[in-house]
A and B are shown apart, each in its own frame.
Chain A
Amino acid sequence: MRYSVFTLAQQALKGHTGWPKAWRQVAPQKAYDIIVVGGGGHGLATAYYLARNHGMKRVALVEKGLIGLGNVGRNTTIVRANYNLEGNEPFYAHSLRLWEGLEKELNYNVMFSQRGVINLFHSDGQRDRFVRRGNSILLHGADAVLLDRDGVRRYAPMIDIDNSRFPVMGGLLQPRAGTARHDAVAWGFARGADRLGVDIIQNCEVIGFDIQNGVVKGVETTLGPIRAERVGIAVAGNTSTLGRMAGLELPIESHVLQAFVSEGLKPFLDCVVTFGVGHFYVSQSDKGGMVFGGDIDGYNSYAQRGNLPMVEHVVEAGVTMIPRLSRVRVLRSWGGIMDMSMDGSPIIDKTPVEGLYLNCGWNYGGFKATPASGWCFAHLMATGEMHEVSRAHRLDRFRTGHSIDEEGTGAQPNLH
């Protein structure tokens, strides 16, 4: 069913009892043309664009639990395209353009809100770096505005601009950036893919790959074997676990990132702000909760929960930036498992196993990339060629010395 004002009126008259399920519950068939492993945002977007852009008819998406219970439902919902390097910025600029048309495309309200993202800077050196990044963003077709102190004060008056230790000098604003409703993104892509004939198979865990003479023939799952000549992996923090089943050696470490939401407040902050001294980012959800996060905990982890020292660290940074947050009560915190790559940038590439494709290394920037990641991964699997905006996201770039290290931290995943 297409959602419109007419179907809404129709259903209202029936007391909203006639809405059909947004996607079908299906059992796996014996064989498909393409299997996408992982029912998170990226896997769902990949399945959607395989059907939508490439006319693939026999596509299956397998998910070990229920869709949307992994990182796509565990992030701080920020969408932005403010990267610096040639290998990354065109990709994220493409993603932002897709976000702008996503609701119409999916016929689903993902509540994409272009409320702007401000990165604060606090020193001359940091300002110069942000100016350079802003120019890079503009050159690649996204938007950036340099704010001075008064600009920041006008835009976000609650920030402690005159902080005695870390006075704010200004900020780099991206007006087209913002937030989206994360669960709706998963549901919208799932519904869209389902309407185009993709089988979304939940509670179906991949437990092995059928690889013969270096060529993939299908996957082994808890619901039995499924055959396919092409298999794409998009499983975020579990990438190494699945890669091991296929004999892959990967430049990935799994780390836990915590995020937090406060009790609901009246409208207080109408943009996204990131601190320039500590690592802290905050926005206000439409329900009123302050949604915020900081650094990863810093050690390898597969547990979807973190430790208290990072909670304290994040809250300290937040209260330094916005002192009046000190009396706000935190309602919930949660953890997601990040597939940290060794240079902080993602991988969308073929693997040494023929027919096996890999989408991973999103660090903690995967949510904003959801549409473009699906778009480019679908392009790669359907055509065998890397998409133009994702050419640099190669798996072998570490071996050949073409790392895309935005932060300049080297092969230290816990510092990205």
Chain B
Amino acid sequence: MLIDCPHCGPRSNEEFTAKGDATAKLPAGDAGPEAHYRHVFVRDNPRGRHEEFWHHTGGCRCWLVVTRDTVTHEIFEVTTASEHLERQASGGKK
């Protein structure tokens, strides 16, 4: 699996550390135990398109958001986590 890092270019997935589902959002501190339970433990675990964090530990050390197919391992898009957050904040489409 090659991940096309926005800073370093295409690199083997062994340079990266998979950090899990990027759609799990940390709830507000006062959101209550149920919201925190869901954030920590509940996962959609889709068969198909999946947004996930990868940390480029063996490269630029940036956190990336990779959109990947969990059946074919095809990668659709790679952005930095900060750009991903900006897009979400502006309500913009992916």
Interface residues of A (CB under 8 A from B): 238, 240-241, 249-254, 298-303, 307, 309, 312-313, 342, 398-399, 411-414
Contact = CB atoms under 8 A, between A and B. Distances in A.
B70 interface: yes
Contacts of A313: 14
Given A241-B47, A300-B21, A302-B47, A342 B70 contact: no
Interface of B: 1, 12-14, 17-18, 20-21, 34, 37-38, 40-47, 50, 52, 54, 68, 70-73
Nearest to B54: A299
B79 to A, nearest CB: 17
B43 A309 contact: no
A316 to B, nearest CB: 12
A342 B72 contact: no
B43 A253 contact: yes
Given A250-B42, A300-B20, A342-B40, 5 more contacts: A250-B43, A299-B52, A309-B13, A309-B14, A398-B37
A300 B70 contact: yes
Given A300-B21, A307-B1, A307-B13, A251 B41 contact: yes
Contact of B73 (A249, A303, A309, A413): A303
A119 B37 CA distance: 34
A307 B38 contact: no
Given A307-B1, A342-B40, A414 B18 contact: yes
Contacts of A249: 38, 42
Contacts of A250: 42-43, 45
Nearest to B39: A411
B73 A342 contact: no
10 contacts: A238-B47, A240-B43, A240-B46, A251-B42, A253-B21, A298-B17, A298-B18, A300-B20, A307-B1, A399-B34
A251 B45 CA distance: 9
B13 to A, nearest CB: 6
Given A253-B43, A307-B73, A411-B41, A300 B50 contact: yes
| 5 A-B pairs with the lowest CB-CB distances in the bound complex, closest first | A309-B14, A240-B45, A299-B18, A398-B41, A251-B41
Given A300-B70, A399-B37, A412 B20 contact: yes
Contacts of B44: 240
Identify the interface centre among A241, A252, A313, A411: most chain B CB within 10 Å of its CB: A411
A298 B73 CA distance: 13
B40 A300 contact: no
A199 to B, nearest CB: 28
Nearest to A240: B45
Contacts of B45: 240, 250, 252-254, 300
A298 B54 CA distance: 11
